[in-house]
Chain A
Amino acid sequence: MFRNQYDTDVTTWSPTGRLFQVEYAMEAVKQGSAAIGLRSRSHVVLACVNKAQSELSSHQRKIFKVDDHIGVAIAGLTADGRVLSRYMRSESINHSFTYESPLPVGRLVVHLADKAQVCTQRSWKRPYGVGLLVGGLDESGAHLYYNCPSGNYFEYQAFAIGSRSQAAKTYLERRFESFGDSSREDLIKDAILAVRETLQGETLKSSLCTVSILGVDEPFHFLDQEAIQKVIDTFEKVPEEDEGEGEADEGEAEAAAAAPAEQGGGAGAGDQDVAPMEM
């Protein structure tokens, strides 16, 4: 995308009918580190890559609990994401208070989308620079939605956003048809494998990813590091250090990413040009 004379204000249309500021906001989502969501009929798993600015700092939180039955993973400007998570928590708790019943996730997502749309139609505002993967339950079961800075939202069986998400999406595209009937454990494994795809060669360790799950009989919660490592161990035969990438048991070893693993420490290739506020 190149600069042009129609991209200064969010309220200026281009002659071809585009709002460039909104599209630039969507670019910000692509710069953030990856977040992945997938769902079965009864469960939703949200996973993300944890990248810290430097070895000295902690990593940014990208997955938030909105309510017992709704969680959200973000990619892009995490500050915007935090604010929207707070809004979602507020909506959810207000609904619970008035109706003593959980807010259906489909309705929350529409509120969120309408809020984002407002920022695309006011000259004194800017669009939110964060994409949200919202997973939650309603009367008809488990759902996964993606909310865009443009104010659009879509429902997905599985999706990935952020940098190098295309690799995860390719993996998910191959497997998504079986997700509907997946067991809880298989769903978690698929999520972690999808996260591995975005690391592109780096060895997968439980410290690099955060995984959360919610389901029809299971309130939203994070999986602890040991549980994640156990799942990783089932398909990474050889633990990291020197060896080439461990072969996956199940035959999903791709010929593609067969590069020898570097040490996990230090940022990966494309991260030097990421602005400090984005993760």
Chain B
Amino acid sequence: MTFTIPIENGNGVKNAEADSQRTLYPYVTGTSVVAIKYKDGILMASDMGGSYGSTLRYKNIERMKAIGKHSLLGASGEISDFQEILRYLDELMLNDNMWDDGNSLGPKEVHNYLTRVMYNRRNKFNPLWNTLVLGGVKNGEKYLGMVSMIGVSFEDNHVATGFGNHLARPILRDEWREDLSFEEGVKLLEKCMRVLLYRDRSAINKLQIAKMTEEGVTVSEPYSLKTFWDFKAFTNPTVGAEGSW
């Protein structure tokens, strides 16, 4: 996942110093985040892994954080960029609270602010290497949206990042309903996360589920999913294709 953009100053020479200031590729990355709207609000799930290339190096990274009273931000991609974004949002929410005037920034406003930030960075060829999921509930209205590192932004009833788009969203398209209860929502998310655990090599078996309702935002304690590895296809994977591995 590398890309280089030639930078030329007036003399037609590549400016190596300037290059070192831009994000060229990610280093420590988080994998999928999956989120759905349910009856009382939003549910979001992500695992706690931080990969260093193909090494599953860090196993206690919280990739979902509450923003103010109404919103939750989940991120995949470069962890240090996620931390930078949290600093921006911290400043944003601080200034919002300092007004102390009964108005507050809700999930829609935070989502749009993030879209502006991500798109502007992309335009300068210095992206924040994340795909962000922003969910929340304010004044009874549920909101769930996504922003990518190039500034693509939209809202939906269920969203996922990275591998989640390929493995989780088809499940959600079939099985998501408007009026899922909390238990049903968690079961559905766990089904998605289990598939990701089996099939995404950067996934680890330690996940958190976050709940957003009108009352507030809670992030669960980490826990693991039960897995079953004795499927015949797992025990004898090459039975249908002799010679392969």
Contacts and interface: CB of A to CB of B under 8 A. Distances in A.
A59 interface: no
Contacts, number: 35
Nearest to A106: B101
B108 interface: yes
A154 interface: no
Contacts of B102: 106, 138-140
Interface string A130-141: 000000001110
Interface in A60-108: 97-101, 104, 106-107
Contacts of B112: 98-101
B101 A101 contact: no
B89 to A, nearest CB: 13
Contacts of A101: 105-106, 108-109, 112
Interface in B100-118: 101-106, 108-109, 112-113, 116
Contact of A104 (B101, B108, B113): B101
Contacts of B113: 98-99
Chain B interface residue bracket vs A = 10 to 19
Interface string B84-105: 0000000000000001011111
B198 to A, nearest CB: 39
A99 B108 CA distance: 7
Given A98-B113, A99-B113, A106 B105 contact: no
A99 B109 contact: yes
A95 to B, nearest CB: 9
A106 B103 contact: yes
Nearest to A100: B112
Contacts of A104: 101, 103
Contacts of B106: 101
Contacts of B116: 97-98
A99 B116 CA distance: 9
A265 B102 CA distance: 48
Interface string B200-241: 000000000000000000000000000000000000000000
Interface in B162-187: none
B113 to A, nearest CB: 6
Given A107-B99, A107-B103, 8 more contacts: A98-B112, A98-B113, A99-B105, A99-B113, A100-B112, A104-B103, A107-B101, A140-B102
Interface of A: 97-101, 104, 106-107, 110, 138-140
Interface of B: 99, 101-106, 108-109, 112-113, 116
24 contacts: A97-B116, A98-B112, A98-B113, A98-B116, A99-B109, A99-B112, A100-B112, A101-B105, A101-B108, A101-B109, A104-B101, A106-B99, A106-B101, A106-B102, A106-B103, A107-B99, A107-B101, A107-B103, A110-B99, A138-B101, A138-B102, A139-B102, A139-B103, A139-B104
